[in-house]
Amino acid sequence: MMQDLFTEAREDLDDGAVLMRGFAVDAAAALLSDIAQVSALAPFRHLVTPGGFRMSVAMTNCGDFGWVSDRRGYRYDPIDPESGHPWPPMPVSFIDLAGRAAHAAGYAGFHADVCLINCYLPGTRLTLHQDRDEGDFTQPIVSISLGLPAAFLWGGKARTDKTRRYALHHGDVVVWGGLSRLNFHGIAPLKDGNHPIVGARRFNLTFRRAR
């Protein structure tokens, strides 16, 4: 069973939050080919924050909804505002891995209805934030890293709480829920490099239950 296979590679970040090193390595090729398919239909774009800043990370989505930001605020939208069409459906490889990862982390029965796909180039960062636009905080967030390594900043319940840094490598999975569901987190500016499979970039998939 997955859970047993990963007892050696698990690191507890906090109550409810776990890092499972290498959990997605075997699925990486399928995930990458599905990222290419999704982004052909819904291209990566730099969203604007409600405050008017262009985000440094490029994003797209698949599933029943997509996370979007504009001058009006943050929200989950069933329609891609750029195309006027629904977001591409969630690929089977995504659904399978998100469910297995959540289960292995102790969250059985997780059914994501959104996958936000982030693309980082060297220098790209994601400032400390909470994932709090979802309707149901009993459902965890499942986060998958592919490509160049990144420094994941894991904070506390308040923005000013001390952060710890965890290097996230190709195939690493972080799941946070329960008492950690609203912890602040972010990504330090991506270092330059070249990943043998993914090249000079990093992808991150975050699975959410929006509704």
Spell out where 64-111 has E strands. 66-70, 73-77
Query: Does 61 contact ligand SIN by CB under 6 A?
Result: no
**Residue 87, both tokens:** 């977001």
Taking CB under 5 A as the binding criterion, the range among 55-63, 96-104, 123-131, 162-170 that sits at the site for Fe ion is 123-131
CB of 89 to ligand SIN, least distance (A): 21
Query: Does 131 contact Fe ion by CB under 5 A?
Result: yes
Give the number of residues in contact with ligand SIN, rule: CB under 6 A. 9
Helices (H), 145-210: none
3-state secondary structure of 145: strand
Which residue in the shown chain puts its C-beta closest to Fe ion?
131
Specify the DSSP class assigned to residue 79: B
Query: Does 134 contact Fe ion by CB under 5 A?
Result: no
CB of 77 to ligand SIN, least distance (A): 17
Asked if residues 180 and 119 have their Cβ atoms less than 8 Å apart, the reply is no
Query: Does 118 contact ligand SIN by CB under 6 A?
Result: yes
Query: Does 126 contact ligand SIN by CB under 6 A?
Result: yes
3-state secondary structure of 2: helix
Q: Identify which of 130, 99, 116, 108 has the alpha carbon closest to the alpha carbon of residue 24.
A: 99
Query: Does 143 contact ligand SIN by CB under 6 A?
Result: yes
Interface ranges with ligand SIN (CB under 6 A): 118, 126, 143, 145, 152, 185, 187, 204, 206
